[in-house]
Chains A and B, each alone.
Chain A
Amino acid sequence: MSPPSPAAPRSGVGADRLFQLVTVGAAWLVLLILGGTAASMAWGGRLAFETFGLKFITSREWDAVSGNFGALVPIYGTIVTSVLALVIAVPVSIGIALFLTDIAPRWLRGPIGIAVELLAAIPSIIYGMWGLFVFAPFMAVNVEPWLNDHVGALPVVGTAFSGPPIGIGLLTASIVLGIMIIPFISAVSRDVFNAVPPALKEAAVALGSTRWEILSRVTLPYTRSAMIGAIFLGLGRALGETMAVTFVLGNAHDLSASLLMPSNSIAAAIANEFTEADTDLYRSSLIALAFLLFVVTFIVLTAAKLMLMRIGRVQERAH
């Protein structure tokens, strides 16, 4: 509701105009920042786009000495780590949301909910350090040799799981990324589950449904589009996550089918190389990478928001 004009405007008209101008200006600023970011990335990356054209996306060569830049490896690394992170995070997050809405005793829901939210509040650089000093060695000693011996020999999937067990690589990065997005997806899923009208669940209970049947036949079908929104929100976070991935991905510009090999991602390449980029073309190529990342995350987050808007007043959360 827009407030009605005050009845006694004597001392207020000028101040009111000013106040309104300030708030409108600040609102425009939000649009300007997003638009300005897109425009400045496009402008900064134009040299790379002009020089390489479509080859910028399809070429795997990334050679700072000869000045040849192709973004295939970082794009590949970004997609593989984000998708694998979702594979890990989505079932776990649905489990956590189910536990928090329907299973846990009431007194336990608050504390566990806060604990999961704390997981989201830990700065990503802490995840990165823990990944580098603790989790990567753990993977190298305990997990990757086992994968090599047992999964690596299998046909088809074997290639993805054989390689040197060094701990740094696509698999480790994906797992760390998966852990990081669990709290985002599970917090939104919990809110979405809570938005299911109680009458629907009660009706299912009255028919004698078990809790699993309520989840699979009432809650999930009712919340389908919002759940996809929650997953896309997690995907948007995963695509742009920088520090955690930079620590454990290895910054290698090689294309490899093995998940155990070091690779690169868009955000990690920018974080590692931008301050060392000594030519205009090098710097422009990194900004062009940022432009691609920005466009893709914008599309993913827009889709997420649109699907979340469908389910009433459930809103994505800042934390």
Chain B
Amino acid sequence: MIVLRRKLADLIALVFAAAATLFGLTWLVWILWTTFVEGAAALSPSLFTEMTPPPGANGGLLNAFYGSAVMVMLALAIGTPLGIAAGTYLAEHGRHSRLAAAVGFINDILLSAPSIVIGLFVYELVVRPSGHFSGFAGALALAIILLPIVVRTTDEALRLVPNQMREAAFALGLPVWRVTSRILYKAAMSGIVTGVLLGLARMAGETAPLLFTALNNQFWSANINQPLANVPVVIFQYAMSPYDEWHSLAWAGALILTIFVLGLNLVVRFFARRGNK
């Protein structure tokens, strides 16, 4: 009797765990399926050749793609070196120091902090004093999203470098900055690149931090000192609108964004896995 009851409880737990996994994967499939079907129906060459249209007209997303690319690149240029430097402090110069412990802790909080608050911070920091929304402010907000990701992965990657490598390099009489830049960074390179690319994927889809910084721009603009169109905010505005033409453009943008983000994630994970073996 007792044996039967224990076996039954075990069976229920197994079925529950399998069902939970199936439940989680169902949403993934459902969301991807919808995005692909709706997005594929809306794909057209004009997507990449025309600007975002006024209500009720046809058009494309060229200015939004361009704006997103500019802001993400700028954010990479700002966030990556700072993140690598801070990560180097955590793993090398400051290892065991109280500052490093505090920074590591706060960095993990920043990693999960609400991105909309980051957007408001940059609004108060840049947009309000300068008096206008700008692509630069958007890039700054994205850089703050990227920074903790790069800090964390740089720290982890450097800690994986065996100590013998540092000792051997110091024994040759090399100064610290050359040991770090020529030897440790090389050894930790794949980990750092993984972090930067995952951060890139995360930034590409971030919407909330751009709402009050880059805002949006219906027209072509290459001026990062002005409001700049970008894919996530265009998707947001068009999806919330009552116009069918805007809805299908939003789906097309959503599809391309999803392919980019998930594709990048898959490629990075594939190479990270191979690198570990």
Chain A residues near B (Cβ < 8 Å): 1-4, 6-9, 11-13, 15-16, 18-20, 22-31, 33-34, 36-37, 40-41, 43-44, 91-96, 98-100, 103-104, 110, 112, 114-119, 121-130, 132-134, 179, 182-183, 186, 210-213, 215, 233, 236-237, 239-243, 247, 267, 270-271, 274-275, 287, 290, 293-294, 297-298, 301-302, 305, 316, 318-319
Give the distance in Å from the alpha carbon of A20 to the alpha carbon of B166 in the complex.
Answer: 16
Choose one: A23, A91, A236, A274; the contact of B120 (CB below 8 Å): A274
The reply to whether B173 and A243 contact each other, CB–CB distance below 8 Å, is no
Interface flags for B167-207 (1: CB within 8 Å of A; 0: not) read 00011011111111000000000000001001001101111
A98 CB to closest chain B CB (Å) equals 4
B79 CB to closest chain A CB (Å) equals 11
The reply to whether A125 and B235 contact each other, CB–CB distance below 8 Å, is yes
Q: Is the interface of A mostly helix, strand, loop or mixed?
A: helix
Choose one: A31, A91, A186, A290; the contact of B106 (CB below 8 Å): A31
- The A/B interface has a contact count, at CB < 8 Å, of 308
Interface residues of B in 207-229 (CB under 8 A from A): 207-208, 211-212, 215
The reply to whether A30 and B20 contact each other, CB–CB distance below 8 Å, is no
Interface residues of B in 4-43 (CB under 8 A from A): 6-7, 9-10, 12-14, 16-21, 23-25, 27-28, 30-31, 34-35, 38
Candidate in B17, B92, B148, B201 with the most chain A CB atoms within 10 angstroms: B17
Candidate in B114, B148, B152, B170 with the most chain A CB atoms within 10 angstroms: B114
Closest chain A residue to B177 by CB distance? A19
The reply to whether B147 and A212 contact each other, CB–CB distance below 8 Å, is no
Give the distance in Å from the alpha carbon of A179 to the alpha carbon of B20 in the complex.
Answer: 12
The reply to whether A3 and B166 contact each other, CB–CB distance below 8 Å, is yes
Which residues of chain B are within 8 angstroms of A271 by Cβ–Cβ distance? Answer: 116, 208, 211
Chain B residues near A (Cβ < 8 Å): 6-7, 9-10, 12-14, 16-21, 23-25, 27-28, 30-31, 34-35, 38, 82-83, 85-86, 88-90, 92-96, 99-100, 102-103, 105-118, 120-121, 123-125, 144, 147-149, 151-153, 163, 166, 170-171, 173-180, 195, 198, 201-202, 204-208, 211-212, 215, 232, 235-236, 239-240, 247, 250-251, 254, 257-258, 261-262, 265-266, 269, 273
The 10 closest A-B pairs by CB, nearest first: A12-B175, A123-B205, A240-B114, A95-B20, A26-B85, A8-B173, A212-B13, A210-B10, A19-B177, A26-B86
Q: Is the interface of B mostly helix, strand, loop or mixed?
A: helix
The reply to whether B175 and A119 contact each other, CB–CB distance below 8 Å, is no
Q: A103-B18, A267-B116 are in contact. List 6 more A-B contacts (CB 8 A).
A: A24-B89, A27-B86, A95-B17, A123-B207, A182-B27, A294-B113
Which residues of chain A are within 8 angstroms of B163 by Cβ–Cβ distance? Answer: 1
Which residues of chain A are within 8 angstroms of B232 by Cβ–Cβ distance? Answer: 123, 125
The reply to whether A301 and B109 contact each other, CB–CB distance below 8 Å, is yes
Give the distance in Å from the alpha carbon of A55 to the alpha carbon of B171 in the complex.
Answer: 66
Give the distance in Å from the alpha carbon of A297 to the alpha carbon of B114 in the complex.
Answer: 8
Which residues of chain B are within 8 angstroms of A242 by Cβ–Cβ distance? Answer: 114-116, 207-208
Supply 17 A–B pairs (Cβ within 8 Å), ascending by A.
A25-B85, A28-B103, A29-B86, A34-B110, A37-B121, A40-B124, A41-B117, A95-B18, A122-B31, A123-B258, A125-B257, A126-B258, A240-B114, A242-B208, A271-B208, A294-B113, A316-B108
The reply to whether B93 and A24 contact each other, CB–CB distance below 8 Å, is yes
B62 CB to closest chain A CB (Å) equals 19
The reply to whether B114 and A27 contact each other, CB–CB distance below 8 Å, is no
The reply to whether A301 and B265 contact each other, CB–CB distance below 8 Å, is no
Choose one: B20, B152, B257; the contact of A92 (CB below 8 Å): B20
Give the distance in Å from the alpha carbon of A233 to the alpha carbon of B123 in the complex.
Answer: 27
Give the distance in Å from the alpha carbon of A1 to the alpha carbon of B91 in the complex.
Answer: 9
B211 CB to closest chain A CB (Å) equals 6
Choose one: B17, B20, B31, B202; the contact of A127 (CB below 8 Å): B31
Give the distance in Å from the alpha carbon of A109 to the alpha carbon of B82 in the complex.
Answer: 36
Give the distance in Å from the alpha carbon of A102 to the alpha carbon of B24 in the complex.
Answer: 17
Which residues of chain A are within 8 angstroms of B269 by Cβ–Cβ distance? Answer: 114, 117
The reply to whether A133 and B239 contact each other, CB–CB distance below 8 Å, is yes
Given contacts A99-B20, A103-B18, A212-B10, contact A125 B207 (CB under 8 A): yes
Give the distance in Å from the alpha carbon of A222 to the alpha carbon of B205 in the complex.
Answer: 37
Which residues of chain B are within 8 angstroms of A9 by Cβ–Cβ distance? Answer: 175
The reply to whether A239 and B114 contact each other, CB–CB distance below 8 Å, is yes
Give the distance in Å from the alpha carbon of A37 to the alpha carbon of B145 in the complex.
Answer: 13
The reply to whether A40 and B262 contact each other, CB–CB distance below 8 Å, is no
Choose one: B13, B107, B110, B205; the contact of A124 (CB below 8 Å): B205
